[in-house]
Structure 1
Amino acid sequence: MTEPFMPEGLGEWTDPDKFQVTAERITEYAKATNDPIQAHLDGEVASPVFAIVPVFNAMIPAVFSVVPVEYLGKVLHGKQDFVFHRPIKAGDNLVARVKPIGYQKQSTGSVVVQLLETRTDEGELVNEQYMTAFFRGVDSGGSAGETAPDHTFPEQLRDTEPVAVVTAHVDEDQTFRYSPASGDPMPIHLDAEMAQASGLPGIIAHGLCIQAFTSWAVLTSVAGSKTERLKRFAVRFAKPVLPGQDITTRIWASPDTPGTYHFETTVDDVAVIKDGLAEVAD
């Protein structure tokens, strides 16, 4: 019998989780995501997607305050939406916390939306994130709370030329470098047998690693490689990426909103990241 989700867990913050940012950890993350931006490689300023690292440990208890723990093997990363108030820098002492804000029943499973918040130890807001977890084939028993903010790709842009196209190679050892750099030990990224037992073709790349690839594609193409210019960065994970594959990110400028870009990432013309949105300040 399917266990329903638990609405009483919604809106409850996790205990604060402290994280000290070092130049070495910033550099390790940049190298693990093939990031070409020198400030990231030098450990001065963190890659935008590095923002997941300080808050990662708080996500698990938050989601399972709503979802019965027996569904752990059913979870996939559905969407990730970063809102940046400033970049993370070496020497920052950060405090992160998470709260689940809603869940929704869908035709092929159920999703849980979490709000992730990172501040300095003095209370300065550094970033907020909306993380959507998808539970395959799981019936939540209904819907409750909030949904994540929208970042749907405008279909009319497909009839126009992108402003940039960036192709990158996902290395065979990418997941083994990304796992320690990010703190994500999920076995589907490290153990082929475990991945196959979960219904996957083999080891798959971390979704956030691929999002990090797209972040430097956007920064180098339309933001002058300046991390501080990126104010929002959102994606929907559509298909797994395998080590050894090439990914191509196509970036379109919004015809209506200056500084807003939409993007999509493909492997052999199959979309692996959809509904990409980047908001870039002058």
Structure 2
Amino acid sequence: MDKKTACAHVPDPKIFDFTSRDAIIYALGVGARAKEDLSYVYENNESFKVLPSFIVAPGFEAMMLLGWPGIEFDLPRVLHGEQYIEIYHPIPSEGKLKSEARVVDILDKGSAALILSNITTYDESGKKIAMQQFSTFQSGAGNFGGERTSTYEIKALPVPDRAPDAVIEQKTTVDQAALYRMGSGDMNPLHVDPEFAKMSGFKTPILHGLCTLGFATRHVIAAWADNDSDRFKAIKVRFSSPVLPGQTLVTETWKNGNRIHFQSKVKETGKVVISNGYVDLHKASEKPTVPSDLASKL
């Protein structure tokens, strides 16, 4: 890893051209349903909106580390460690978005290098609508003499040590990853190709971490923001364990003012798959509202 070269590289901005159809496919990919989420899956709905986590689609397209100067990139050894998203203005329902990517730091974690990449996205008028940080581990690329911590790193936060205030659960489908990759642009074969999954150390293809993030985003907005994505401000997560398509996601939430701490588990195994997560809302509801069919049955 050559941190100086990687951080100095300024790639051309990426233009992401999309329509409401793309936003709807993404919403379906993260479990949105026509009954409760019509405003996210029907373009003619008077309240049609784009889920804030859809911003990962233009962000992912801009953050292509393969071929990035100074980066040793080996796709089968890449692990998405953490993600931060902050939305400054609602994402438009269609148009062109311009995203600028920068590697802001590379940390030496011994057995791996941790690459911190920031992506800033603008609408067609030049207004900044979002910023996100991808934290990517490159296994086997550590021990290059770098720092272990960084002031650029946006930290995850532990959840409170008490019973959650609201719990939401939703079963994924066996085809969840295949659908999500179509809506997000994350075409990593790890999530659909059994042979590639084995090369990466998994018995079977796994769900995208960002798909799990999308489910959690929806769950928190539904429970604590009356399903109004305009009240969403930011999300931070740490990916702790893989999810298999078809497993049930359980999102445990704790209210702390306008910050909703959360973690996601797999119901069938009890494993925490997103840890130290939080969502910041512009205004959180005083009490949660959870659709009856998503109320936890734990």
The two structures have a TM-score, normalised by structure 2, of 0.86
- The partner residue of 2:188 within 160, 181, 186 is 186
Where does residue 102 of structure 1 map in the other structure? 105
In the TM superposition, what are the counterparts of 1:49-88 in structure 2 within 5 Å? 49-61=53-65, 64-69=68-73, 71-88=74-91
- In the aligned structure 2, how far is the partner of 1:120 from the partner of 1:89? 8
- In the aligned structure 1, how far is the partner of 2:60 from the partner of 2:193? 21
CA-CA distance at 1:38 after TM superposition: 2.1
- In the aligned structure 1, how far is the partner of 2:165 from the partner of 2:98? 37
What one-letter code is carried by the residue in structure 1 that aligns with 2:264?
T
| SS across alignment from 2:280 | strand
Number of residue pairs matched by the alignment: 272
RMSD: 1.7
Where does residue 2 of structure 2 map in the other structure? 5
Say whether the 8 Å CA contact 2:59–2:132 is kept in structure 1: no
- In the aligned structure 2, how far is the partner of 1:63 from the partner of 1:245? 35
Where does residue 122 of structure 2 map in the other structure? 119
What one-letter code is carried by the residue in structure 2 that aligns with 1:276?
G
- Structure 1 residues 270 and 216, CA, compared in 2 at 3 Å: closer, same or farther? same
Say whether the 8 Å CA contact 2:111–2:143 is kept in structure 1: no
Where does residue 40 of structure 2 map in the other structure? 40
- In the aligned structure 1, how far is the partner of 2:129 from the partner of 2:231? 14
- In the aligned structure 2, how far is the partner of 1:207 from the partner of 1:11? 28
Say whether the 8 Å CA contact 1:105–1:111 is kept in structure 2: yes
- The partner residue of 1:92 within 91, 95, 113 is 95
Say whether the 8 Å CA contact 2:115–2:136 is kept in structure 1: yes
Which structure 2 residue ranges, 5 or more long, are not aligned?
284-298
- Cα deviation 1:85-115 (Å, max 9, x = unaligned): 0121213321111000001111431200000
- Structure 1 residues 227 and 11, CA, compared in 2 at 3 Å: closer, same or farther? farther
- Structure 1 residues 63 and 81, CA, compared in 2 at 3 Å: closer, same or farther? farther
Where does residue 148 of structure 1 map in the other structure? 153
In the TM superposition, what are the counterparts of 1:227-238 in structure 2 within 5 Å? 227-238=229-240
- In the aligned structure 2, how far is the partner of 1:247 from the partner of 1:107? 32
- In the aligned structure 1, how far is the partner of 2:63 from the partner of 2:191? 18
| SS across alignment from 2:164 | coil
- In the aligned structure 1, how far is the partner of 2:91 from the partner of 2:10? 22
In the TM superposition, what are the counterparts of 1:190-209 in structure 2 within 5 Å? 190-209=192-211
| SS across alignment from 1:112 | strand
